[in-house]
Structure 1
Amino acid sequence: MGLKQILLRLTALLALSSVALAQQPDPRALLHRAIDQLRGPAMAATYTLLVERPGRNKKYVLRVYTDGGDRAHIRVIEPKRDAGQAFLTIGQDIWIYNPRLGRVLRLPPSGRNDRFLGSDVSYADLSGRDLESDYRVSLAEAETGADTLTLVLTPNPTAPVPWGRVEMVLGKKDLLLRKIVYYDQRGAAVKDFVVNSTAALPGGGYLITGMLVRDLVRPGYRTVFEVSDWKTGSPPESCFSPAALERGCRF
């Protein structure tokens, strides 16, 4: 083979490699898209939360107002004994209103991994953007014929996070979030989120309307989320202040 043929072949191989690289999805963009699906659009919606434990269940009905970014106002509607409790998340800051005390309290950083309403969801899960800010992300090598993509998240060296690794599974064609698996520092899977249902949104995109959260360490510990009665649009700015937790949000 002459020098000219060798150079032509190398040029063709480089061109193919460039095309292949250009076609590789950006893991950071995929992560942002998945978090957006978890957060939902700017809207008001009713969330039904069923906390299942061996031998007993507890059901909560919540009204949630979110700007589709890093702010959410959550109010407990049922059961009656818990009604009036309210929560506000702004980035990594979380405030809690207790109607019995008549006070708004700011959750200390040490409480971010506590269980929200005794469920299998933590307060950190509510804030939503920790996975973007505290983790590095890469795309796992796809299995031959697989219809999913897997994002592998590893903590930044100085990030104060409880997980050793997080994996997010997305559909390869629709890029819809299907599952999140949380691993401890020893590499054991300890919790997962499984998406059960979605709904198309006006103007495009999807809303996650059903999700199962499982404690993989304690059998029978599960939390089921269902979303209904949603109304898209941005709630008033007045909904996203600690003072709004006592008076409520009108939208």
Structure 2
Amino acid sequence: MGLNRKTIRLVTSGLLLLAAPALAQSPDPKALLHEAVNQLRGPAMVATYTLAVERPGRSKRYVLRVYTDGDRRALIQVIEPKREAGQAFLMLGEDIWIYNPRLGRVLRLPPSGRNDRFLGSDVSYADLSGRDLEDYYEVRLEPAAEADRLTLVLTPKPRAPTPWGRVVLQIEAATKLPRRIVYYDQRGQPVKEIEMRKVARIAEGRYLVTDTLVIDRVREGYRTVFEVSDWRIGTVPDRCFAPTALKRGCER
């Protein structure tokens, strides 16, 4: 039996209505990125970070005390090695201050320095604090190559203060937990890779990355491992994010 035009329109409309819920359930790349950055930043807490900087034929180990609000503020104090103990870094959004106890001075890092090497490691200041991946990039969702992973491709917004030409972020589909970040230069060559190797479940649907490997993809043998331990989750006092905390700390 043939179908007239009216019947065809009705059938077509019905198919569109049936397809609408599927389209509505398509993941929002911006929402995925926001949740991934939340998981990456972790909760408000005080914790110990151990930073192992590996170079061909040598290595160096730092012990840091970190205070963070889980968003855009962090105070980092160097505890070891003894020679460099007392250095402190205060990160407030886009503003970063550095305290050098030998000079007795507080210096402000220019915005262009956010991607500089923190303590000479392969970790940048932006890796440790802030929400640069949200602030400075447009995001799109790549077709899924693995059922349990989602891939987000980030490209810089116009005039964004970033040296990267592209950033690719892989997250777990179920937990939205970042597992790998690869940074590419303007020519499309991979420059830095971050792998989140271990996590701890701290609450329902919330995780803390406890072991991270950062690899320099340009220089062979350049890598940094940083581990999180002795964490105490909870609200951190505002005094910890005041400039006076750079010299005096915030637990006195």
Tell me which interval the TM-score lies in, with the shorter structure as reference length: over 0.9
Amino acid corresponding to residue 197 of structure 1 in structure 2: K
| Structure 2 counterpart SS, 1:60 | strand
1:32-69 Cα distance to aligned partner (Å, 9 max, x none): 11111221100001111100111001011111000111
Displacement of 1:203 in angstroms is 5.0
| Structure 2 counterpart SS, 1:11 | helix
Question: CA–CA distance in 2 between the matches of 1:14 and 1:70?
Answer: 43
Aligned position for 1:173: 174
- The answer (yes or no) to whether the contact 1:97–1:105 under 8 Å persists in 2 is yes
Aligned position for 1:37: 39
Displacement of 1:21 in angstroms is 1.6
Instruction: Find runs of 4+ consecutive structure 1 residues off by over 4 angstroms.
Output: none
Mapping 1:155-174, distance limit 5 Å: 155-174=156-175
Amino acid corresponding to residue 169 of structure 2 in structure 1: M
Amino acid corresponding to residue 241 of structure 1 in structure 2: A
Structure 1 residue 82 corresponds to structure 2 residue 84 = yes
Aligned position for 2:125: 123
Percent identical pairs in the alignment equals 66
Amino acid corresponding to residue 161 of structure 1 in structure 2: T
Displacement of 1:204 in angstroms is 4.2
Structure 1 residue 62 corresponds to structure 2 residue 53 = no
- The answer (yes or no) to whether the contact 2:149–2:170 under 8 Å persists in 1 is yes
Aligned position for 1:104: 106
1:103-149 Cα distance to aligned partner (Å, 9 max, x none): 11111223222210010011232333111111111101223x53211
Structure 1 residue 231 corresponds to structure 2 residue 229 = no
Amino acid corresponding to residue 151 of structure 1 in structure 2: L
Question: CA–CA distance in 1 between the matches of 2:188 and 2:135?
Answer: 21
Amino acid corresponding to residue 141 of structure 2 in structure 1: L
Mapping 1:142-221, distance limit 5 Å: 142-143=144-145, 145-202=146-203, 204-221=205-222
1:205-240 Cα distance to aligned partner (Å, 9 max, x none): 101111100001111110101111000111111110
For the aligned residue pairs, the C-alpha RMSD in angstroms reads 1.4
Aligned position for 1:8: 10
Structure 1 unaligned segments of length 5 or more: list them. none
TM-score by length of 1: 0.95
Question: CA–CA distance in 2 between the matches of 1:198 and 1:12?
Answer: 46
